[in-house]
Amino acid sequence: MLKRRNTKKITAFLLIWLALAPAAAARVVGIEDGAGSGFLFSHRGNCFLILPGHVHGNYRRGIRVGTQAGGAIGSADIVYQAPGEADISLALVKGGVTRDCGPVWADLPRSLSGALEIGRIAIIERARQRSAEGRRVVLHSIDFRQVRLVPAEREKPDLFGGTSGATVFLDSTPIAMVLEAEAADAVWATRMDEIVNLLARFMGEVPPVQSCGEGVLSAACAESRAPVEGDPFEVLAWSVHPVEGASDPSAMVAGGAPYVAPLVPGEPIVLELALTGTDRLSRVRIVSEPSDDASVPKDIEVMTDISEGAVRRPNPMPRRDMSPDGVYDNRVGERFAKTVTIRISSSWGGGSPVRIDRIVIE
């Protein structure tokens, strides 16, 4: 029989877990490996991120975004900053994290006047480097723009530090975003209806993603989706963030700087590509240009797949190494394929990071 103290702890844990279950589905993500958190939402085929301006600082492109350990990652480019001292930014997101981009813009609250009451219990969810973390808080005071939050009974007073961008939920409704920690036991959060109003004019000018015409903000249309050589494809996801100053794989394929990423033993770098102009291939080439700051990949595995849904039909290409001078050229008889997965598990000399300059599919 459980002791009464343990029963209370388990009951409290279950209550927090039940409260966090719908909140987690609402997509709170981490920014720059612990700098803060942000909130994802979708609109007209685009994936957007709301985050505090001070979390990204002077960085406007290639901001690293990720879920808990082992989850999806991506990158974000700032497309709008609210005027004045609002400290709210909006970013366009690309990468694997966009597969689950949270609620749609139309479902975010426009008015919370009837929902916010002093004394109500809410949940703050913030992203840590390797997990999502929730805390029960009490709505201590409310005005038309902000709410002040304090820890609920039996909660640790640890709201200070790393809480910027955390989202506050009442049930499954996001009601505020934390911008400022007053102390370890109190934070100020901007109401979500205030944030929605700050972004409304900009969001009203976002066109639907139907083509890659001028003005479309889709990450898939932000740059040319067709590589310079070979058949066109797009990068759906990547498993490792690039190092500072390097491009993510999507930008690299579109003609940007090389993709340079750390390679950890036992944790391969995985890129997932989707063919967009054909449904067959016979050759995959990968190039790594010489560099004093990065190593040449060695063991590379390429897997093609004729399916795009949950049921996969992987078909491996012959396993081979990239040459020490940075050329990988794998030819097979023509085969049908819709997606291509590239796994890099080692480098020449065991160095890290590794560099990729071009991927060509024919």
Asked if 96 and 116 sit in the same domain, the reply is no
- Is 295 part of any domain? yes
- Is 16 part of any domain? no
- Is 67 part of any domain? yes
Is 116 in contact with 142 (CB distance < 8 Å)?
yes
The predicted model gives 331-352 an average pLDDT of 92
Helix (H, G, I), strand (E, B) or coil at 191: strand
Asked if 142 and 90 sit in the same domain, the reply is no
- pLDDT band of residue 5 (cuts 50, 70, 90) is very low
The pLDDT tens digits for 223-261 are 444 445 789 999 999 999 999 888 899 888 888 889 999
Q: How many other CB atoms are there within 10 angstroms of residue 195's CB atom?
A: 24
pLDDT number for residue 15: 42
Which whole-number Å values give the CA distances from 255 to 226, 243, 250, 327, in the listed order? 9, 18, 9, 18
Asked if 242 and 289 sit in the same domain, the reply is yes
Helix (H, G, I), strand (E, B) or coil at 159: coil
- Is 13 part of any domain? no
pLDDT number for residue 4: 39
Buried-state track 251-281, b at ≥16 Cβ within 10 A, e below 16: bbbbeeebbbbebeeeebbbbbbbbeeeeeb
Asked if 267 and 345 sit in the same domain, the reply is yes
Buried-state track 235-248, b at ≥16 Cβ within 10 A, e below 16: bbbbbbbbeeebbb
pLDDT number for residue 122: 95
Asked if 45 and 69 sit in the same domain, the reply is yes
The CATH code of the domain that includes 101 is 2.40.10.10
* Residue 67 CA to its chain's centroid (Å): 6
Helix (H, G, I), strand (E, B) or coil at 272: strand
Boundary residue ending a domain (161, 182, 203): 203
Is 43 in contact with 206 (CB distance < 8 Å)?
yes
Res 140 pLDDT > 90: yes
How far is the C-alpha of 123 from the C-alpha of 153, rounded, in Å? 13
Helix ranges restricted to H, the chain: 4-25, 53-56, 192-203, 219-222, 249-253
How far is the C-alpha of 181 from the C-alpha of 161, rounded, in Å? 7
Boundary residue ending a domain (106, 122, 142): 106
Tell me the Cα Rg of the chain: 23
Boundary residue ending a domain (70, 89, 106): 106
Asked if 69 and 119 sit in the same domain, the reply is no
- Is 224 part of any domain? no
- pLDDT band of residue 34 (cuts 50, 70, 90) is confident
How far is the C-alpha of 187 from the C-alpha of 147, rounded, in Å? 8
- Is 96 part of any domain? yes
How far is the C-alpha of 170 from the C-alpha of 120, rounded, in Å? 9
Helix (H, G, I), strand (E, B) or coil at 192: helix
Task: From 361, 150, 356, select the one nearest 257 (Cα to Cα).
Answer: 356
The per-residue pLDDT of the chain, averaged, comes to: 83
Asked if 90 and 199 sit in the same domain, the reply is no
The pLDDT tens digits for 206-222 are 655 555 544 445 554 54
Q: Which structural domain, as residue segments, surrounds residue 237?
A: 233-361
Asked if 143 and 91 sit in the same domain, the reply is no
Is 344 in contact with 311 (CB distance < 8 Å)?
no
Tally of structural domains, the chain: 3
The CATH code of the domain that includes 349 is 2.60.120.260
- pLDDT band of residue 311 (cuts 50, 70, 90) is confident
Asked if 117 and 131 sit in the same domain, the reply is yes
Asked if 251 and 334 sit in the same domain, the reply is yes
Task: From 140, 31, 150, 174, select the one nearest 93 (Cα to Cα).
Answer: 31
The pLDDT tens digits for 71-86 are 788 999 898 999 888 9
Asked if 126 and 86 sit in the same domain, the reply is no
Helix or strand run (H / E) with residue 185: none
How far is the C-alpha of 295 from the C-alpha of 253, rounded, in Å? 19
Asked if 48 and 124 sit in the same domain, the reply is no
- Is 18 part of any domain? no
pLDDT number for residue 135: 87
- Is 64 part of any domain? yes
